[in-house]
Structure 1
Amino acid sequence: MTKIAASELILNPDGSIYHLNLKPEHIATDIIFVGDQNRVPKITKHFDSIEFDIQKREFRTITGTFKGKRITIISTGIGPDNIDIVMNEIDALVNIDFETRTAKKEFTQLNIVRIGTSGSLQDYIPVNSFVLAKYGIGFDGVLHSYDCKDILNPEFEDAFIKHTNWSPRKARPYVVQNSSELENKLKSDSIFLGVTATAVGFYGPQGRILRLAIQDPELNHKIDNFVYNDVKITNLEMETSAIYGLSKLLGHNACSMNCIIANRATGDFSENPGKAVEELIVYTLDKLTS
């Protein structure tokens, strides 16, 4: 087996992986991602017990048990670039032998659920509702750094590019489906199924204008009225497509649960986003352990 160089698989002096500061024994195979490090204890307050708690930079990790199931909560920070770090490092924790610096012969599959906040692009998806992303459509370009063609949906992508007159100066949008196994576990009649778009930034990349003109002021409108095989793009955030793409490439299951705190179509913003997020946390934990 090919040995991975120290410059590629970077370990801290204590043997933990570089950014997350974790060792293999610190994580469960069921993992919940959140963006905000302060949201980690808001989830683990529901746990029966806490086994491990550590933070390095924006990456906070707590592992414990909920209703007898061992679960790890990790804060990823904001954006697809951080997802690239977290996904590669958690996979390394379970599928690379740190002593020999080689891939393990026996593969370990992870179940990854994102709990995040998002803005709805459709007027029929109100604030404080929940969207489960059946697909992620990425505007970020991260996945194009990998050999990803076999997991994408080029027909969906081409239709979107044509509809929006997508600028060739931007990264090509890519479409990845979620894990149907996790979707079936998490969905219910109270959840909207949709397509979650992932932007590479919060302001211009999501069509917000403060003092800078943007490349296409009509892009959000083009996105919200795009339809492919009766599917619409429901919401916009900054992590889902990278999670879906890297999970698929690495062989893991992933599903993204989004709490809608803003509706870009109606201009509404949740009066109590904390309460809505708490309800999504409880819903997701119960579904994962039911």
Structure 2
Amino acid sequence: MSRIGESELILNADGSVYHLKLKPEDLAGNIIVVGDPGRVASVSKHFDRIEVSRQNREIVTHTGYIGEKRLTVLSTGMGTDNIDIVLNELDALVNIDLDKREAKAGHTALNIIRLGTSGALQAGIPVDSVVASTYGIGLDGMLYYYKDLAGVLDREITEEFIRQTSWPAVFPRPYAVACSPDLLNHVGKGFLQGMTATAPGFYGPQGRILRLETTHPDLNQAIGDFNLDGKKVFNFEMETSALYGLSRMLGHNALTVCAIVANRVEKKYSKDYHPVIESLIVNVLEKLVSLPL
């Protein structure tokens, strides 16, 4: 196995990975990721005890226990670029010998659940409901930097999405990647289930207009109208496609479950989404505790 250079895998003076500032022993096999650093404590308050508490920039990590189940909750910040950092460093913690700077002979698979908020793209999806993402459709182009994308890309959905939406050639080429079916069946049970579009921004890329006009004002409608054998795009957010693609390429299991805080079609916004977030956290923790890993 070839040695990974110091400029490629950057470690801190204490041996922790550069951005997460974590060592292998700090990480559990079941991980909840959230965008907002302030939401980490909203999850870990349900732990029986916390044994690890770290912060570096917007990345806050708590690792602890519920009963005998060890769990990590970690904030990623916003966007697929942050997911690129977090997923690669999480994988390095379990699948690279950091002292030797070599990939380990054996492979460790993590379970990674994203708890987030999103906006619905279909009429009839209630505000304050929850969507489990069956596929992430990336509109950001980031995963095309990775050779292994070809092995995890759903080509049928990708090509049909491009065709049905008349995808603008000047935009990054979309890509579609599936969630972990095991996590969908276990953690996603009881939630609405549909595809999720991952945008590279909150305003223009999701069709929001403040003072700047968008170049393709009908794009949200085209995304919402997409239909492949009953598969539809239920919601918009900013992380899932990268989470799914990187997790599959690296051999991990990933699922996103998002509270619907807005319905973009019906122009509705939640009066108070905090109760649904709290309920979602409790629901997902209960399901994670019963996972075998």
Aligned to 2:46: 46
Question: 1:67, CA displacement in angstroms?
Answer: 3.2
Aligned to 1:27: 27
Question: 1:188, CA displacement in angstroms?
Answer: 2.7
- Could you tell me how far apart the structure 2 residues matched to 1:261 and 1:121 are? 12
What's the CA shift string for 1:126-175, capped at 9, x where partnerless? 11100000111000111100011111111211111111111111111100
Code of the residue aligned with 1:165 in structure 2: it is S
Count of residue pairs the alignment pairs up: 289
What's the CA shift string for 1:244-263, capped at 9, x where partnerless? 00000000000000110111
Code of the residue aligned with 1:152 in structure 2: it is L
Aligned to 1:150: 151
Question: 1:123, CA displacement in angstroms?
Answer: 1.4
- Could you tell me how far apart the structure 2 residues matched to 1:233 and 1:187 are? 16
C-alpha RMSD of the superposition: 0.8
Q: What SS is found at the alignment partner of 1:3?
A: coil
Q: What SS is found at the alignment partner of 1:40?
A: helix
Q: What SS is found at the alignment partner of 2:52?
A: strand
What's the CA shift string for 1:9-52, capped at 9, x where partnerless? 00011111000111110000100000000000000000111010
Aligned to 1:248: 248
Question: 1:68, CA displacement in angstroms?
Answer: 2.1
Aligned to 1:110: 110
Identity over aligned residues, as a percent?
53
Q: Check conservation: 2:188, 2:257, Cα contact below 8 A.
A: no
What's the CA shift string for 1:29-83, capped at 9, x where partnerless? 1000000000000000001110100100000000001232100001000000000
Q: TM-score of the superposition, structure 1-length normalised?
A: 0.98
Question: 1:276, CA displacement in angstroms?
Answer: 1.1
Aligned to 2:61: 61
Gaps of 5+ in 1: none
- Could you tell me how far apart the structure 2 residues matched to 1:58 and 1:187 are? 27
What's the CA shift string for 1:211-250, capped at 9, x where partnerless? 1121200000111111011111000000000000000000
Code of the residue aligned with 1:77 in structure 2: it is G
Code of the residue aligned with 1:156 in structure 2: it is I
Q: Check conservation: 2:179, 2:255, Cα contact below 8 A.
A: yes
Question: 1:198, CA displacement in angstroms?
Answer: 0.3
Q: TM-score of the superposition, structure 2-length normalised?
A: 0.97
- Could you tell me how far apart the structure 2 residues matched to 1:63 and 1:118 are? 26
Aligned to 1:173: 174
Runs of 4 or more off by more than 6 Å in structure 1? Answer: none
Aligned to 2:124: 124
Q: Which moved more, 1:60-69 or 1:191-200?
A: 60-69
Q: Please give the residue correspondences for 1:116-265 in structure 2 after superposition, counting only pairs within 5 Å.
A: 116-147=116-147, 148-189=149-190, 191-265=191-265
Gaps of 5+ in 2: none
- Could you tell me how far apart the structure 2 residues matched to 1:72 and 1:187 are? 19
Q: What SS is found at the alignment partner of 2:72?
A: strand
